[in-house]
Structure 1
Amino acid sequence: MSDIGSEDVHERIRQSFARQGAMETLGAELTRISQGVVEIELPFDVKLTQQHGILHAGVISAALDSACSYAAYTVVAADASLLTIEFKVNLLSPGRGDRFLFRGEITKPGSTIIVADGRGYAVGDGPAKLIASMTSTLMVVRGREGITG
């Protein structure tokens, strides 16, 4: 497992996140990195909604996928990369809020396959509301051309 106290782990995750054009397009920011847990937040933007004015399921899925993937980066060696090989999303409540928080947490670390769970929350005037959950399976990749950190 990685030593999350190491600034190298934090920096590797920050640099990788900065290369994600999808997260940049969504206006997402990396707000927490700790051992086995990563959080990503994004503000409400009408450009990210579906026809009923709520956060689009594809946006929710993309943010949860990234949160789960980066949580997995906290438990792999620096020479490893990750690819999502499967996920399931449950949309639990409409995505209405001023901001959204997506948290990925490691359920089962591994040397080849990692399982992570994610939760998405709408944040507004009251308490945060759970809007989605994800279970994600990730494959640890080493030595594959074009796939690094």
Structure 2
Amino acid sequence: MANFEHGDFHARIVGSFASQGAMTMIGAELTRISHGVVEIELPFDTKLTQQHGILHAGVIATGLETACTYAAYTMIDTDASLLTIEFKVNLMSPGRGSRFLFRGEVTRPGTNIIVTDGRGYAVGDGPAKLIASMSGTAMVVRDREGFQD
């Protein structure tokens, strides 16, 4: 269930997310967009697992990086874009659940560099379980060919 707040960044993020083939391929959807926070949800799919039947670490990293970068998009001018320049993921628990929630939040907005933190949760019958955390850095890109949203 989507919980979108209004703002200049909303339509831009929705359009950009829809153009990402990777998000379509894994079945991810935007479920929250607010100033400094974006959430992406993903249903469990065996095509996204590793050899032990749990969500693949690469898929977890993809969900976290995307949520964090779009959270940063809520902080920049509409004539700018972003590129992730660094991230670190800590995998804390196996990715077992019927759905997964990836929440990205801006920790430190800046003119040229934005720092974000992300949390990944497995959702099932009981309470959501923290499975991963991420710290990321995005660079604001202006007036560079091929990087307009």
Shorter chain as normaliser: what TM range?
over 0.9
User: Could you say what the CA RMSD is over the residues aligned between the two structures, in angstroms?
Assistant: 0.8
Q: Does 1:94 align with 2:83?
A: no
- How far the C-alpha of 1:148 sits from its partner, in A, is 1.4
Residue 22 of structure 1 corresponds to 22
Over residues 105-135 of structure 1, what are the superposed CA-to-partner deviations in whole Å (9 max), with x where a residue is unaligned?
A: 0000001000000000000000000000000
- Percent identical residues: 74
Q: Residue in 2 aligned with 1:117?
A: 117
1:92 & 1:148 partners in 2: Cα distance? 35
User: Which amino acid in 1 is paired with 2:64?
Assistant: L
Which residue pairs with 1:84 in the alignment?
84
CA distance in 1, matches of 2:35, 2:75: 7
**What is the DSSP-based 3-state SS (H/G/I as helix, E as strand, rest coil) of the residue aligned with 2:104?**
strand
Q: What do the CA deviations read for 1:34-70 (whole angstroms, capped 9, x no partner)?
A: 0100000000000000000000000000010000000
Deviation at 1:9, TM superposition (A): 1.4
Residue 68 of structure 1 aligns to a residue whose secondary structure is helix
Distance, in Å, in 2 between the alignment partners of 1:15 and 1:114 is: 21
Q: TM-score, normalised by structure 2?
A: 0.96
Q: 1:12 matched to which residue of 2?
A: 12
Please list every run of at least 4 consecutive aligned residues from structure 1 whose deviation after the TM superposition is greater than 4 angstroms: none
Aligned counterparts, 1:1-149, within 5 A: 5-6=6-7, 8-149=8-149
Alignment gaps of 5+ in structure 2: none
Q: Distance in 2 between matches of 1:38 and 1:56?
A: 21
Q: For 1:97, what is the secondary structure of its paired residue?
A: coil
In the superposition, the TM-score normalised over structure 1's length comes to 0.96
Partners of 1:45 and 1:27 in 2: CA distance: 9
SS of equivalent to 2:116: strand
Give the aligned residue type for 1:23.
M
Number of corresponding residues = 145
